[in-house]
Structure 1
Amino acid sequence: MRVAILYDGPDIVGFFPFERHPLGIGKPVAAGLTDAQGLVHAKGFDIDPRRLIKECGLAVYEFDHLVAGQPLLSERHERHPSPIIDLRDGYEHYTCTLKEHSGKTYKTTLAKSRKLQREAGQMRHDYAITDLAPLHTLLAWKTGQYRRTGRSDRFAQRWIVELVERLLAVQSDSFAGVLDMVYVDDEPVAGHFGLRTRTTLSGWFPAYDTRFAKYSPGLIHHLAMAERAAGSGIQVIDMGRGQKEYKDKLKTGELQVAEGRVARLGPAAGLHWMMRVPVRKTRATVLANPLLLKTADKALKTYGRLRAVLQG
């Protein structure tokens, strides 16, 4: 990891965190994990993006979650929605919005919550806990989800597990790791780990115990999390880029993140273009077409089942 410090005369006006890979290829720190990428800079700051990457010794800077409004952003970069839950007017106002726009989802989720408690036991919700045991339970659920859906298991990499553990240990007014879990009869059912500032909770790793899948525990949990988050001063929950049904049901609006690259003319940038850009455009085409997306998702889940059999 490297951090470029940007000056305007004697004044520091920005920081640019990045990783430098072979051939001068630059990427965001922890690329593949980060949902908000780019410069940390003073308001109104402007810079030539190509000059920036040149001064950093980069031929290319590639990103997939560049925050809207960044000086690195141009019209040619692809924009993607990042759904949010707006809690600035409180949880009750949010539920009123849900009733208006996703009334069936809201009513069904409450009904399933009552049914879960009738059939499994009393429910409780622990918010902003710091114990490692429930965190490891959550990560195990997430590993199972990655494997079932044919995705690579991020938590097979020890450094990612250690990163999440360290972030959970950080608890300050301006930044903290936030772990919350829903229990039924003292048994964990669903949970989430994310990061917060004073006013924003960034969604990261939601998961649930598949034994309770028929009760929609993910939706039950998200409503519980939104209520407790609003009570603690959170104004926005950013659920992150990605087309997921639960996000469409719960969102009240969207932010934007961008995908693309900033490149200087040269052999390394040309090689990078050939290796990465056609793949990215193909993926974007699949994600934008419901039929292609459904086919690809089905193929990944089939692969996940075959992988589980072979590894078992």
Structure 2
Amino acid sequence: MAETLQVEIVKAEALDAADTALWRAWSTSNPALRSPYFRWDYAEIASRVCPGAAVAVFRRGRETAGFFPHQRRGGSVQPLGAPMNDYHGVIAPIGEEIGLEDVARLLKARRLNVPGWIGAAQTGEARTTVQAALPEEGFDAWYAERRTTFGKFFKDKERARRSLEAELGPITVAHGLRDPALLDHLIDLKAAQYRRSGLHDIFACGWTRDLLHALMAEARPDFGASLATMHGGDKLTAIEFSLHAGRHYHFWFPAYEPSLARCSPGILLSMDTMRLAGAEGFRTFDFGFEGEHYKKYFVNQTQTVREAVVMRPGLGRVATDALVGALDRTGVRGEAIRASLRRRWATIEACEATPAGRLRGAAVAARSAAVKIAARRKAPARVAHA
């Protein structure tokens, strides 16, 4: 009979060499934990930057059974680095199952919010992330298969490349860049995009910007973060920040020049990054959650994760009731809206380390959602024609 699971909450720097050796071994040997987000390096660097950072060390008797890096916001718990990280779960050996509900119970979380949980869980709903897996022969073999399967799409991109070059001059692509000023430029582009879209600006709180800089600043032998860029002549047309470890490359924050959208510079940069990084031995290129139309032409494998909120029994929907209730009073109903607002609240709660910051974020989100819904109601109804 398995011994009762116990937990100790510590700072990352308190883990000894034996613990970090286990962490490294489990994250590289367990296929479910191959994402860079599960590496000790990610947790160690992020713990220096993220407010409320800690590590849950699970034990059965005297034996360490797993680790869960996380952050606290009052009584609520999120994975370490949320809302930035796309994957999270317990770092444990194959065969050890420490479920989401176990984690919430042992951490005594009022609420544990996870958008991309990998591992045992009964709560929440399944979501799909998508990856492009290169064969051992590399990028050229992958591209030949994709071009055969989706000929029109990739021929269009080849024409787009020629058009971009004809308009701006020779195309040059660089990857593995670690330029702080270039990263600040990308972050400013993303922040402006969030504000235009009415979304919460995840970089306004400060520590999220610091996290990307901290990850990029440390180039470790089997882990790192870097930028890739595409120029047409002297003009920067696309830029992307990615995280990578082992043979796994995770596309993270992309941006491109909107006036050149017809030439698909962002897609072209992803293709060229795969070609260059593939030549260095990377074989899995992770595009994160499915959804954007272009991804289906790239990806050839999927991974199932769970999006869930585990509440302490009896608390109900305390966290989101204030936000959802603001819209309920306008007469808005529907689970789709509630789900959207729960996600928005999760982002606000993770970003904002103070109650005042969370309150301001919730008020802005409620106003933004109400304005969008009011505009939708005023829009003229479409007339169906027989």
Same fold, TM-score > 0.5, yes or no: yes
1:234 alignment partner in structure 2: 282
| AA aligned opposite 2:83 | G
1:186 alignment partner in structure 2: 234
State yes or no: 1:16 paired with 2:68: yes
CA distance in 1, matches of 2:157, 2:101: 49
Aligned counterpart for 1:3 among listed residues 55, 80, 91: 55
State yes or no: 1:216 paired with 2:259: no
Task: Give the 3 Å change call, closer, same or farther, for CA 245–148 of structure 1 in structure 2.
Answer: farther
2:165 alignment partner in structure 1: 117
CA distance in 2, matches of 1:27, 1:77: 15
Cα shift readout 1:169-225 (whole Å, capped 9, x = no counterpart): 121122100211111213211011011111111121011112322211111111111
SS at match of 1:152: coil
| AA aligned opposite 2:125 | E
State yes or no: 1:46 paired with 2:97: yes
CA distance in 1, matches of 2:310, 2:95: 20
5 Å-filtered alignment, 1:121-140, equals 121-140=169-188
Task: Give the 3 Å change call, closer, same or farther, for CA 158–96 of structure 1 in structure 2.
Answer: same
CA distance in 2, matches of 1:84, 1:241: 9
Aligned 8 A contact 1:141 1:209 in 2:
no
CA distance in 2, matches of 1:91, 1:65: 28
SS at match of 1:106: helix
SS at match of 2:59: strand
CA distance in 2, matches of 1:88, 1:135: 31
State yes or no: 1:83 paired with 2:130: yes
2:205 alignment partner in structure 1: 157
Task: Give the 3 Å change call, closer, same or farther, for CA 277–149 of structure 1 in structure 2.
Answer: closer
2:145 alignment partner in structure 1: 97
> How far off is 1:125 after superposition?
0.8
The structure whose Rg is larger is 2
Task: Give the 3 Å change call, closer, same or farther, for CA 212–52 of structure 1 in structure 2.
Answer: closer
Alignment gaps of 5+ in structure 1: 287-295, 304-312
| AA aligned opposite 1:10 | R
Task: Give the 3 Å change call, closer, same or farther, for CA 154–199 of structure 1 in structure 2.
Answer: same
> How far off is 1:121 after superposition?
0.6
> How far off is 1:128 after superposition?
0.4
| AA aligned opposite 1:234 | F
Aligned counterpart for 1:28 among listed residues 79, 88, 92: 79
SS at match of 2:105: helix
Cα shift readout 1:254-306 (whole Å, capped 9, x = no counterpart): 2122111334423x3553585699999425888xxxxxxxxx9xx59x99xxx
1:292 alignment partner in structure 2: none
CA distance in 2, matches of 1:107, 1:124: 20
Aligned 8 A contact 1:128 1:179 in 2:
yes
| AA aligned opposite 1:20 | R
Deviates more, 1:256-265 or 1:177-186: 256-265
2:10 alignment partner in structure 1: none
CA distance in 1, matches of 2:107, 2:133: 37
SS at match of 2:198: coil
SS at match of 2:112: strand
> How far off is 1:44 after superposition?
0.8
- Give the superposed CA RMSD: 2.8
SS at match of 1:40: coil
Higher RCO (CA-CA < 8 Å; seq separation 6+): 1
CA distance in 2, matches of 1:56, 1:110: 52
CA distance in 1, matches of 2:144, 2:233: 30
Aligned 8 A contact 1:88 1:236 in 2:
no
State yes or no: 1:251 paired with 2:299: yes
Q: Normalising by the residue count of structure 1, what TM-score does the alignment of the two structures yield? A: 0.82
State yes or no: 1:201 paired with 2:252: no
1:308 alignment partner in structure 2: none
Alignment gaps of 5+ in structure 2: 1-52, 326-332, 341-368, 377-386
Q: How many residues are matched?
A: 285
CA distance in 1, matches of 2:82, 2:323: 14
Aligned 8 A contact 1:129 1:179 in 2:
yes
Aligned 8 A contact 2:67 2:91 in 1:
yes
